[in-house]
Chains A and B, each alone.
Chain A
Amino acid sequence: MLNVSIYRYNPEVDDEPYMQDFQFDTEGKDIMVLDVLEKLKIKDPTLVFRRSCREGVCGSDGVNISGKNGLACITPLSEAVKGNKLVIRPLPGLPVIRDLVIDMSQFYAQYEKIQPYMINNSPAPAIERLQSPEERAKLDGLYECILCACCSTACPSFWWNPDKFIGPAGLLQAYRFLADSRDTATKERLANLDDPFSVFRCHGIMNCVQVCPKGLNPTKAIGHIRNMLIRSAT
């Protein structure tokens, strides 16, 4: 039997959060952490968590699994269980609404700040704005982000200043538009990032890279933004 310890907090009932222990029979199978949560929810319907696609695409079920942020749906028990124990907590650093569900408003506010959409005020061509294969290739490793918040909530700089530091997820997307040959607002985008917090609160500890369930590298993107700022300001 696997020991599963889950963070529980219902602000309408509980004075403070607590860890609840469950015994879980894996039947010898290496199932995903989300499967464990689903089966435990049948036992205890008051357990609350987010999930949707259950295949690592929607980014809903980001949780802290045995100390490391990740998507419950694509994290197998063989990776998550340490010493026959599985510990599941909400993503750290953001307010908990209930159990494993966090309030992501601050995360989305930072995402909104970087203007995550194409800006190009030149008249639209008849069919589409074309890119060369080389220009398109620059977006690889950037557009795949699913905004699960695993990276930003693993970043101490984001824990301390979630209202001022954009965070790795937002900065990866900032670079996604800075690197896009069809976007014409590069100068304005860079001007909005050149303060001591938005980009430069990143100290390169690379927790974001370690936890990204899509294998992306926000630290590298932040380095590119910094280089663009250096090129434009010196």
Chain B
Amino acid sequence: MVTTVTSFGRSGLSNWIVQRVSAFVMTAYLIFIVGYFVLNTDLSYQQWAGLHSGLPMRIFSLLTILSVAAHAWIGMWCVLTDYITVRTIGPKATAIRIFFQLGMIAMILLYLMWAIDILWGI
């Protein structure tokens, strides 16, 4: 058992499930949005704003944004713990890795709150 504290979930299994479920949600959203553009080639601002002002669409968008946040957290954490390690770049790696991990988490939370603000501001 390896202890990790900056990972999204503490268990490898929960990360794994979140990664798959979030991928599914993002794919569904992508298909919906692309489909919407294809079916509405002469899209007006009113129509676009109308789509996003309904509660079901807001929930769908919010779910997707939460999925992007969790997916990015898990994925970036994997990349950082693969490449920025004492083994690969030396003893300074731990401080550099923690800096990038906390920066990454802060950015994800910032984008998340910003996105919620935009969604409920429509």
Contact = CB atoms under 8 A, between A and B. Distances in A.
Contact of B16 (A157, A160, A193, A226): A226
B1 A200 contact: no
* Consensus secondary structure, chain B interface: helix
Interface in B6-23: 7, 9-13, 15-17
B2 A196 contact: yes
Interface residues on A, range: 20 to 34
Contact of B82 (A160, A192, A199): A160
B87 A160 contact: yes
A53 interface: no
A195 B88 contact: no
A200 B12 contact: yes
A191 B13 contact: no
A197 B12 contact: yes
B87 A195 contact: no
A229 B1 contact: no
A126 interface: no
Contacts of B81: 161, 197
A163 B88 CA distance: 13
B11 A196 contact: yes
Interface string B1-43: 1111001011111011100000000000000000000000000
Given A164-B2, A199-B12, A201-B78, 7 more contacts: A162-B87, A191-B1, A194-B11, A197-B2, A197-B81, A226-B16, A229-B12
